[in-house]
Amino acid sequence: MNATRIFGALAILFCASISEPCGGGLILELSPFQQVSGSEVMLKDIVKDPSTLPDTWRDRPVMKAPVTDTPFEYGISAVASALQKYPDMQEVTLRGQVKMSISRTGQSIPLDQIEKAIQKYVSENETWKNQKVEIRCDPVNEKLSLAGSEPDFEVTSSKPLKKANKFTFMLTVSEDGMENQNLSVTASVIPMIEAWVAKKIITRGQTLFAMDNIETQFMPADSSESLVPASEPIDGMEINNTINANQPLHRNYLVQPMCSQNGEQISVNVESGNLRVIMRAKALSTGRKGERIMCMNEQSKRRVLVRLTGPREATVDF
Summarize pLDDT for 209-238 with one digit per residue, the tens.
Answer: 766 778 888 888 765 568 888 888 888 888
Q: Where in the chain is the domain with CATH 2.60.480?
A: 2-105
| Residue 117 scores a pLDDT above 90 | yes
Query: What distance in Å separates the CA atoms of residue 91 and residue 26, rounded to the nearest whole number?
Result: 7
CATH class of 258-315: mainly beta
- CATH of region 2-105: 2.60.480
- Lowest mean pLDDT of 7-21, 24-38, 169-183, 260-274, name the range: 7-21
- CATH of region 192-255: 3.90.1210.10
Query: What distance in Å separates the CA atoms of residue 122 and residue 170, rounded to the nearest whole number?
Result: 13
Render pLDDT for 52-102 as a digit per residue (tens, 0 to 9): 898 899 899 998 877 766 788 888 888 888 888 898 888 888 888 888 888
> What is the share, in percent, of the chain residues with pLDDT greater than 70?
85
Name the average pLDDT for the chain.
Answer: 82
| Residue 306 scores a pLDDT above 70 | yes
CB contact at 8 A, 283 and 306: no
- Lowest mean pLDDT of 81-90, 209-218, 242-251, 292-301, name the range: 209-218
- Residues in the chain, how many? 318
Nearest Cα residue to 172 out of 185, 188, 186: 185
Q: Where in the chain is the domain with CATH 3.90.1210.10?
A: 192-255
CB contact at 8 A, 147 and 173: no
| Residue 115 scores a pLDDT above 60 | yes
Long-range contacts of 82-90 (CB under 8 A, 24+ apart): 83/6, 83/43, 84/6, 84/8, 84/9, 84/11, 86/60, 89/6, 89/57, 90/6, 90/7, 90/8
C-alpha pair distances (Å), 158 with each of 19, 99, 107, 121, 286: 61, 47, 24, 9, 57
Query: What distance in Å separates the CA atoms of residue 235 and residue 256, rounded to the nearest whole number?
Result: 10
Question: What is the arithmetic mean of pLDDT over 173-178?
Answer: 77
Query: What distance in Å separates the CA atoms of residue 25 and residue 239, rounded to the nearest whole number?
Result: 71
- Across 108-112, 242-246, 271-275, the highest mean pLDDT is recorded for 242-246
